Chain A
């Protein structure tokens, strides 16, 4: 089976630091794929390679291929801006635009790309906020500042903002690490609903979270992909000893 996203011998560097080493991964369409592993193992870097956000930092380099829908996003002449419209991203810390209100935050992607039609913007705002399960909580104060709501709401606002540009893939970089368990549960429910229409890749430190929501799980260690497979298999019957050690907490 060909995945929605295929990485082929993917390597990523920060200056001289080799952060991702020859990763071959096939991420299936319309599923949640979790990437787990200890801090600094390259999880975030791996997903930042999938929408070309890795190259935003100075001194970084990528070799190998990331093929999305059969096209290598690192092929010469590929526009990183177009890649990012197709592959959205939600960051670890909620980062709504502080100078914009809730409504403007949701439609920021559209408006910053030149969309002016109010009907389209209004419809997109409502649809995205409903998708992000935030509509009922904010519909009465859409003109409040994007940073005036709670952290969990801000993170769902960021998800709504990412969904508003209608991506096909949503990358989530530890989206719940700054949130309490209730807000985390809401986001997890949301991700579960979203996988019907989107391919989701989530980086998480929380192994219970991976076990709860992911269909597939990848375990990374020191920049290498150690094991990848269905979540149940990774957690119940891992092939590699390293995976088992990490998952059972007997590490190092």
Chain B
């Protein structure tokens, strides 16, 4: 047997190494955050958040149209991607114990690992060639990126619902589809919301597919078939420009984007933390109210 001291030393060495790696991994995260805040914060004021993008030298220039554009893009992408992703996840989890489910699981993983630029190309050849650079083709590309993420998180969330609840419901003579809707989804709801929010956080920062689809627009634009601005596009274009004031605006836009994505992540954390809290609905009817102790 090795000596006690040697074992103790190895243990300390291992935990020290692991801790060191954590510090190393944190360096990029912290330095990115600091860099973006230091460089971006001076750019941000009310005008910057509410005005549209203008050319270099104009102090009135802002990213208001890009914020609106990003929200629109994400919103339309959710409208297309969330129902498809969630329903796919439900199918794979609840009905997918067969070759269809297995192959869907496989294709989902393939789709999830597709480079986003390829998805952009696909949307370009399918939609942009027909309707032109537009909000709808951007949202379509983002939705395709979203679907496999949402499908996977939905499947995972529903698999967490214990089998005993499925059996309890079926044994009451509840049909399968009602069991899925009323029992399984209601028990896995927190997981579904988490997956949806995470996928939103992911697509909000996508740039490459948008270059090929929504293109960007210096003006206010909300039309489905018009090119539309987006935060990642503004960051990309302004950062590439030779002008210092535009580069400054790129940092500001980056900070806004990071704050938006981070706050989504924080919401996810808060939601998942309260997953196991009781969500008892008060039954608000006469004899139930009567039966409660009156204070």
- A, B: real partners: yes
- A84 surroundings in chain B (CB, below 8 A): 170-173
A99-B186, A140-B293 as given contacts; A162 in contact with B171, CB under 8 Å: yes
Are A112 and B186 in contact, CB atoms less than 8 angstroms apart?
Answer: no
Complex Cα spacing A81 to B172, Å: 8
- B168 surroundings in chain A (CB, below 8 A): 91, 95-97, 158, 161
- B280 surroundings in chain A (CB, below 8 A): 101, 143-145
Are A145 and B165 in contact, CB atoms less than 8 angstroms apart?
Answer: no
Determine chain B's interface SS by DSSP, over half rule.
helix
A99-B186, A142-B283 as given contacts; A58 in contact with B172, CB under 8 Å: no
Are B97 and A58 in contact, CB atoms less than 8 angstroms apart?
Answer: yes
Are B170 and A103 in contact, CB atoms less than 8 angstroms apart?
Answer: no
Give the interface size class of chain B: 20 to 34
Complex Cα spacing A147 to B187, Å: 13
Q: CB-defined interface of A83-106 with B at 8 Å, one 1/0 digit per residue?
A: 111101101010111110101100
Are A118 and B167 in contact, CB atoms less than 8 angstroms apart?
Answer: no
Asked whether any CB of chain A lies closer than 8 Å to the CB of B175, the reply is: yes
Are A108 and B171 in contact, CB atoms less than 8 angstroms apart?
Answer: no
Asked whether any CB of chain B lies closer than 8 Å to the CB of A109, the reply is: yes
Asked whether any CB of chain A lies closer than 8 Å to the CB of B110, the reply is: no
Complex Cα spacing A152 to B182, Å: 26
Are A88 and B175 in contact, CB atoms less than 8 angstroms apart?
Answer: no
Complex Cα spacing A93 to B164, Å: 8
- B186 surroundings in chain A (CB, below 8 A): 99
A91-B164, A93-B164, A104-B281 as given contacts; A81 in contact with B175, CB under 8 Å: yes
Partner of A53, one of B171, B187, B279, B292: B171
Distance from A111 Cβ to chain B, minimum over Cβ atoms (Å) = 8
- B283 surroundings in chain A (CB, below 8 A): 101, 103-104, 142-143
Complex Cα spacing A140 to B40, Å: 58
Asked whether any CB of chain A lies closer than 8 Å to the CB of B278, the reply is: yes
Are B173 and A142 in contact, CB atoms less than 8 angstroms apart?
Answer: no
Partner of A108, one of B167, B172, B282: B172
Asked whether any CB of chain A lies closer than 8 Å to the CB of B285, the reply is: yes
Complex Cα spacing A114 to B280, Å: 21
Partner of B173, one of A82, A122, A141: A82
Q: Find residues 85-106 in chain B having any chain A CB closer than 8 Å to their own CB.
A: 97
- B170 surroundings in chain A (CB, below 8 A): 53, 56, 84
- B281 surroundings in chain A (CB, below 8 A): 101, 104, 143
A101-B283, A112-B182, A143-B280 as given contacts; A165 in contact with B172, CB under 8 Å: yes
Distance from B160 Cβ to chain A, minimum over Cβ atoms (Å) = 12
Are A162 and B172 in contact, CB atoms less than 8 angstroms apart?
Answer: yes
Are A148 and B174 in contact, CB atoms less than 8 angstroms apart?
Answer: no
Chain A's closest residue to B174 (CB) is A112
Q: Find residues 200-258 in chain B having any chain A CB closer than 8 Å to their own CB.
A: none
Are A88 and B183 in contact, CB atoms less than 8 angstroms apart?
Answer: no
Max chain B Cβ within 10 angstroms of own Cβ: one of A53, A91, A95, A148: A95
Asked whether any CB of chain B lies closer than 8 Å to the CB of A139, the reply is: yes
Asked whether any CB of chain A lies closer than 8 Å to the CB of B15, the reply is: no
Are A112 and B279 in contact, CB atoms less than 8 angstroms apart?
Answer: no
Q: Given A101-B283, A112-B182, 11 other A-B contacts at CB below 8 A?
A: A53-B170, A81-B175, A84-B170, A85-B173, A91-B171, A96-B168, A109-B173, A112-B172, A140-B291, A142-B291, A145-B280
Listed A/B pairs (29) with beta-carbon separation below 8 Å: A53-B167, A56-B166, A84-B170, A84-B172, A85-B173, A88-B172, A89-B171, A91-B164, A97-B165, A97-B183, A97-B187, A98-B187, A99-B187, A99-B279, A101-B283, A103-B283, A108-B169, A108-B172, A108-B174, A109-B172, A109-B173, A112-B172, A113-B174, A140-B293, A142-B288, A144-B280, A147-B278, A148-B278, A161-B168
